[in-house]
Amino acid sequence: MGAKIPRSKEDDYTAEAAAQRRAFAAGQTGAALDTVGTYAIDPAQCRGNIEHFIGCAQVPIGLAGPLRVNGEHAQGEFYVPLATTEGTLVASYNRGMKLLTESGGATVTISEDIMQRSPGFIFESAREAKAFRAWVVERFDDIKAVADATTTVGRLRDIDPYTASKFLYLRFNYTTGDAAGQNMVTKATHAACEWIRANYPGIKHHYLESNFSTDKKASSINTLRTRGKRVTAEASVPRDLLAQLMRVTPEQLRHQRSVSTTGAYMAGANNNGSHSANALAAIFIATGQDLGNIAESSAGISFVEVLDDGSLYYSVTIPSLIVATYGGGTGLSTQQECLKLLGCTGRGSVHKFAEIVAAAALAGDISLSCAVAAEEWAESHEKYGRNR
C-alpha cells in the first residue's frame, strides 16, 4: 500500500503543512499543484472545515442582478454571486433577475424551518414498537430537555414517528438558528437516544440515523415535510414585459410548463421545475454551504398560470432548502465576503439569505423556461458557452 499522506505534529493548518502535502502528492503522482497552492484564505481558518488541507479550488464567480426581493426578511435589490464553471448560467440568471426586478420583484415566503436527525429503533415485534411510540409521546418533554441541553442554539420542536415492520423511525425536528444544523442535531439526538436507551428497556438496538431524514438524498418525505427551509418565491410578470424581454406570451409559457410537468411526472423526476439545482449550486459554492445538500435542496415545485389580467404568474417552491449563514464554510474569507455582499452576515440572517436564494432560483427557472418556450435555448448556449 502506497505512502500515507503526511500530517504535521505541531499544527496541521499551516501553509507549511499544506505545502508539505502538495510536495508529497507531486512526489507520488508527478502532478504539480502550484495554483492549488496559491490561495488567498488563511489555512488556520480551515480548522473544522477540512482535513489534510493542501490548498484551494478556485471557482470563478459571476455577479448577477440587481434582483428585487420582497421577502419577509430580504427586502430590496440584491447582487447575487454565482460560482460556476458553466457558461451561460450567469447570463441566464441575470436575464431572469432583470425580468423579475422590472416586474416589481419576487415575493418570497418561508413557511417552515426544521432540521432532522432520524434514529431507527429496533424491537422484537411491531407491537413493542407501537408501545414505544406511545412512551415517546408521553416523555417528549424529558427527551426535549436532554436534547436541548447539548446546544445553545438548537431546539427540539417535535418528534414525528413512522412505523414499519418492528422498527420505529423517529424524525427529530429541530430549529437551528443561523446554522444549517446537521452537526447540532446529530449531537442532540445522540444525547436523546442515550437517555432513551437508559430509560426504556426493551429496545433491541438503535441507529442514530436510519436514512429517514434522507440526508444528501432527494426524497418524498423531505418534499412533503420539509428539511431546512421551505420557501416559495413567486412573481407576476406583465405580459408586455414578458414579450419584450423574453419574446414569449404567458400562454406559451403555460403550455411549455404543462408539457414539461407531464414529462417530469412520467419520468419520475423528484420535481417539475426547470433547474433549481443550478442556482443552488452556484450560490452554495460562493457562500460556503454544504454542496452535498444539493441532492435534497434541488427539489423545486414550479407552478405557472395566466392571471385574469393576462399577466404571468410563476412560482417555485423549494421544500428542503438547507442553508446557513453561520458555521460550515460560511466563515471562510471568500465565502464570508459573498455573504456580506448579500447583507447576510450576523445573527438572524439565515432567513434573509434563504429568501434571496429562492428568488434567484425563480429567476433562473423563468429564464430557462422562456428560452425553451421561445426556442432560443440552443442558440443562447452557442453564444455564451464553450462548444463542447
Residue 295 binding its own copies, by CB under 8 A: yes
Q: Which of 141, 266, 309, 347 binds its own copies (CB under 8 A)?
A: 266
| Calpha distance 352→342 (Å, rounded) | 9
> To the nearest whole angstrom, how small is the minimum distance from the Cβ of residue 22 to its own copies?
8
Q: Pattern 246-265, binding to its own copies, x per CB under 8 A?
A: ---------xx-xxxxxxxx
Q: Residues in contact with its own copies, total (CB under 8 A)?
A: 177
| Calpha distance 189→23 (Å, rounded) | 42
Residue 385 binding its own copies, by CB under 8 A: yes
Stretch binding its own copies (CB under 8 A), from 64-72, 140-148, 238-246, 347-355: 64-72
| Calpha distance 117→285 (Å, rounded) | 24
Q: Pattern 122-161, binding to its own copies, x per CB under 8 A?
A: x--xxx-xx--x----------------------------
In eight-state DSSP terms, residue 2 is P
Q: Which helix (H) or strand (E) holds 163?
A: strand 155-164
Phi, psi for residue 207 in degrees, rounded to 5: -120, 135
Listed in sequence order, the residues at least 6 apart from 20 whose beta carbon sits closer than 8 Å to its beta carbon are 6, 8
Give the cell for residue 361: 432560483
11 is catalytic: no
User: CB–CB of 116/154 below 8 Å?
Assistant: no
Q: Which of 14, 23, 73, 102 binds its own copies (CB under 8 A)?
A: 102
User: CB–CB of 77/47 below 8 Å?
Assistant: no
Work out whether the CA dihedral 199, 203, 205, 208 comes out positive or negative: negative
Distances (CA, A) of 71 to 106, 231, 315, 354, 383: 8, 10, 14, 10, 34
| Residues facing 229 on adjacent strands | 113, 321
Give the number of residues written for the chain. Answer: 388
Stretch binding its own copies (CB under 8 A), from 138-146, 208-216, 238-246, 346-354: 208-216
> To the nearest whole angstrom, how small is the minimum distance from the Cβ of residue 5 to its own copies?
5
User: CB–CB of 334/40 below 8 Å?
Assistant: yes
Residue 335 binding its own copies, by CB under 8 A: yes
> To the nearest whole angstrom, how small is the minimum distance from the Cβ of residue 217 to its own copies?
4
Residue 85 binding its own copies, by CB under 8 A: yes
Residue 319 binding its own copies, by CB under 8 A: yes
Give the cell for residue 131: 408501545
Active-site residue, from 73, 86, 255, 376: 86
> To the nearest whole angstrom, how small is the minimum distance from the Cβ of residue 63 to its own copies?
5
Active-site residue, from 113, 178, 290, 355: 290
Residue 292 binding its own copies, by CB under 8 A: yes
> To the nearest whole angstrom, how small is the minimum distance from the Cβ of residue 297 to its own copies?
9
Residue 209 binding its own copies, by CB under 8 A: yes
Q: Which of residues 351-380 bind its own copies (CB under 8 A)?
A: 372-373, 375, 377-378
Q: Which of residues 35-54 bind its own copies (CB under 8 A)?
A: 35-36, 38-41, 46, 48-54
User: CB–CB of 55/17 below 8 Å?
Assistant: no
86 is catalytic: yes
> To the nearest whole angstrom, how small is the minimum distance from the Cβ of residue 211 to its own copies?
4
> To the nearest whole angstrom, how small is the minimum distance from the Cβ of residue 85 to its own copies?
2
User: CB–CB of 233/100 below 8 Å?
Assistant: no
User: CB–CB of 41/12 below 8 Å?
Assistant: no
Residue 7 binding its own copies, by CB under 8 A: no
Amino acid code (one letter) for 2 = G
* Residues with a known catalytic role: 86, 290, 381
